[in-house]
Each structure stands twice: as structure tokens, then as C-alpha cells.
Amino acid sequence: MSPPDQNASNASSAMGISFDRLAEAIREGMSFLSDKQLPSGEFVTLLGADHSLQGGVFDSSPFVTAHILQALHGVQHPGIGEVIRKALDYLRSEKELGGVWRYYSRRQWKHCRIPPDLDDTACASHALRLYGEAVPRNEWIFRSCRNEKGLFRTWIASHDRKGFFHRLGWLRLLGDWI
């Protein structure tokens, strides 16, 4: 047994399941993710009224894809490289001017109804960084979205009469921040 197999074997013994069952569960999980990944690289996100998501509605968002990428980091499995590559391509395609993301993807009709936000920007940036991908230099946007008490505002939008982007200047959004 190689060291990773030994670690998995030890973990499966501690959990009271066989190594073969653990390996099968990983295969099933990878098959599920591969089946639920769209050609764009996005993972299907459903919005529903109950925990079973019976009758759930497609809710296109880079948020879930960013979290799945984080969960897969370090997993060794045949075929996972292609799943990860497609998901990273999808995250990069959803990046907006200024190196920011919003909850709804460009494929979602609600995309234009909400501004980019810090949650999605942080999660997408972190997922890219985990895989050694280029991450936009967007730290400035986090510093700029704090209130007078130093707390972060979620939405990347105007928070004063002068206007957030007017105060920063649109030119700051160009260059190496995109």
C-alpha cells in the first residue's frame, strides 16, 4: 500500500467502514460531480422550498462551483483533473471588471439585479489561488468596502452620496486589476 492508501485505510478503519467501501464512495462522489458539471464547467445549483429540492429550480452561480473546488483540493482520483480544469475555466469566465464576482452567473436572468459582492469575490479568488491560478489583485476592493466601524459591507456598490466608484475613479478598475 502506498502512503495515501494507508492513510485512507486507517481512516476507514477508524470510521468502521471498509477501505473498499470508502473507495467506492469516492468513485460515486466523483461520478456524481462529473454528471452534475455543466459543459461551461459550472456545477448545477438548485433553489428549492424544501431540503429534498424536489422541483428545485436551476440557480446559476459561481459560488457553489468555488466551494466544490475548495472541497476537491488535494483529492487524488482519475479524471478529477478535467473536472477541476473546467470549473476553474468557469470561474475565470465569471470574473468581472475589477477582479470581482457576483452570486448570479451571466447565464442567470437575475445577474443584472444585484451588484458584485465580497463573499463571492473572496470564495472565487481563494479557489483560484488554491490551484495556483492567477488571482486578480482585488484586495483593494475589500479595504474599500468597510464602514466607519471597520466592518465589511457585502455589496460592492455605492455607500455614500459621492458614489463609491466615482470616489475611487473608474481608471483604478483598469490595468492589472482586471
Between 120 and 177, the more confident residue is 120
Instruction: Give 18-71 as a DSSP string.
Output: -HHHHHHHHHHHHHHHHHHB-TTSPBP-EE-SSTT-TT-EE---HHHHHHHHHH
Q: Does residue 11 surpass a pLDDT of 70?
A: no
Q: How confident is the model at residue 172 (pLDDT cuts 50, 70, 90)?
A: very low
Per-residue model confidence (pLDDT) at position 167: 42
**CA–CA distance, 142 with 117 (Å, rounded to integer):** 10
User: What whole-number distance in Å separates Cα of residue 46 and Cα of residue 59?
Assistant: 5
Q: What is the pTM of this model?
A: 0.78
Of the candidate ranges 52-61, 83-92, 162-171, the one whose mean pLDDT is the lowest? 162-171
- Half-sphere exposure at residue 95, Cβ-oriented, CA atoms within 13 angstroms: 23
More confident: 145 or 123: 123
**Residue that is written with C-alpha cell 424536489 in the block:** 54
Lowest mean pLDDT among 37-46, 76-85, 93-102, 163-172: 163-172
Nearest to 89 by CA among 124, 141, 137: 124
Percent of residues, the chain, with pLDDT higher than 90: 44
C-alpha cell, 112 = 443584472
Q: What is the pLDDT of residue 174?
A: 42
Per the model's pLDDT, the better-predicted residue between 73 and 145 turns out to be 73
